[in-house]
Amino acid sequence: MTRPPQGAPGGMQGGSSGPSAAESSSPPRLGSPGTPAQPAASPTIATAADWETQPAACPLCARPDGRLLWRRHGFRWLRCPADGLVWVEPRLSDASVDRIYRMVDARKAAVLGGSARPLSGAPADGVSANGAERRGPKQQGNPRYRGILGGLAAGLGGPGRLLEVGAFDGDFLAVARDLGWQAEGTEINAAALARTRARGLTMHAGRLAELDLAPASFDAIVLRDVLEHLPEPLAELRRIHRLLRPGGMLYIWVPNLGSLTGRLLGPRWGAVVFPWHFVYVDGRSLPRLLEATGYRVERLASANLLWRLSDPWAILHGRGAPPGPLARRLNRWAGRLLAPLFRRLDARGLHLGAQLEAWARVDGAGPIGAEAAQGPDDQRDIRCGSVAP
Ligand SMILES: [Zn+2]
């Protein structure tokens, strides 16, 4: 059954300016572009049949079917036997995803993790799409952002021109600018665009595919909690590849289905199980996806626990409650406690943290500048810095 979208089009984030979907320090890339909050969906809407959907195949090899991991709310989670990617079938149509992102009322905010404020005017203390809370502004110039940027600068020989796809409020870009990057972002949420531009940041309005950005013009491109929202990740990664100069670097931060919590909780892992996440990766399938699109993966790391049983889809439809502040705090503490363990396991190629990070390079010119020369110690520093919870 198909229901028409509520309200005006816009606010869809499943394209190149995907919504934030991740964890604590990540901004929400959700909400409608400057339109008022729409009424919440009826509580009776809770299965795929109530939404406009379309068939979906493996986003990497296009196999139409895979091994069934679980069913939930009328959606199937399938794992490709060839490459290990997991995708949701059927896939919510763009119109359906538009509609979800327009449900920017208190219940939607609650779904997303905490704040009851409408996301269309999302303040700094927002929430992220997988149910994790965002941190406040104080933590946002945070060590994690600095770790990411430090890793990129080390790999490139210094700061350069950086693009964040789906930059939302520009918190990450602002840190990048402070660290000497020529930082730019893309965003399709008009309200977020306006706020980010008001901070003096260069923002490109629209999905990557719609923008006229010069090929090979960026040193670094960042996808934080965007990959899982892309209906066509292969095409988008190739698009990004064209925008990177030879030797340029791509940084990705994405939920890790192969994490400790992902493995233990499976379909009950509220941090990941959203039908509006189209693709799920782990420490093996993410490199395959990147290599298939022309990148050389230089480093993988994982961090955080995100032990969550809440069901975002049900909460969206008026059933259940999002994790409370205590649960979120416990999650953070547990993540910090386990960070050294995750780092040790990462070094052995076992990525069990709830969020996966990848640094990948477009082959061509290597690092530029004398500072680019780095030994094992530098590598270790980068990794540690980048995964600090
Ligand atoms: Zn496949």
**What structural domains and CATH numbers belong to the chain?**
136-374 (3.40.50.150)
Provide the pLDDT for residue 148: 95
Does the pLDDT at position 156 exceed 70? yes
State the average pLDDT for the chain.
75
CA of 56 to the centre of ligand 1 (A): 11
Q: Which residues contact 200 (CB under 8 A, 6 or more apart)?
A: none
Tell how far the Cα of 77 is from the centroid of ligand 1, in angstroms. Answer: 13
The answer to whether the CB of 131 falls within 8 A of the CB of 310 is: yes
Q: How far apart are CA 29 and CA 31, in angstroms?
A: 7
Find the 68 Cα to ligand 1 centroid distance in Å.
13
Tokens of 71: 């069913």
Question: Omega of the bond prior to 90 within 30 degrees of 0, cis?
Answer: yes
60 Cα: distance to centroid of ligand 1 (angstroms): 5
Cα 280 to middle of ligand 1, angstroms: 12
Given a cut of 70, whether residue 166 has pLDDT beyond it is yes
Q: How far is the CA of 233 from the centre of ligand 1 (A)?
A: 12
Dihedral sign of CA atoms 257, 165, 278, 43 in order: positive
Q: Are 180 and 239 in contact (CB under 8 A)?
A: no
d(CA 93, CA 203): 27
What's the CA-to-centroid distance between 87 and ligand 1, angstroms? 9
Residue 127 has pLDDT above 50, yes or no: no
Q: What is the DSSP letter of 119?
A: G
**d(CA 236, ligand 1 centre) in Å:** 17
For residues 363-388, give the mean pLDDT: 40
Its pTM surpasses 0.85: no
Report the separation in Å between the CA atom of 51 and the middle of ligand 1, taken as the mean of its atom positions: 25
Contact 255, 271 (CB under 8 A): yes
Cα(78) to centroid(ligand 1), Å: 10
Under a CB-based contact definition with an 8 Å cutoff, are residues 256 and 356 in contact?
Answer: yes
Ligand 1 centroid from CA 261, angstroms: 23
56: CB partners within 8 A, 6+ apart:
87, 88, 89, 90, 91, 278
Digit-coded pLDDT (tens) for 268-306: 887 677 777 899 999 999 999 999 999 999 999 998 887
The 10s digit of each residue's pLDDT in 190-206 is 888 888 999 999 999 98
Q: CA 66, CA 255: separation in Å to the nearest integer?
A: 20
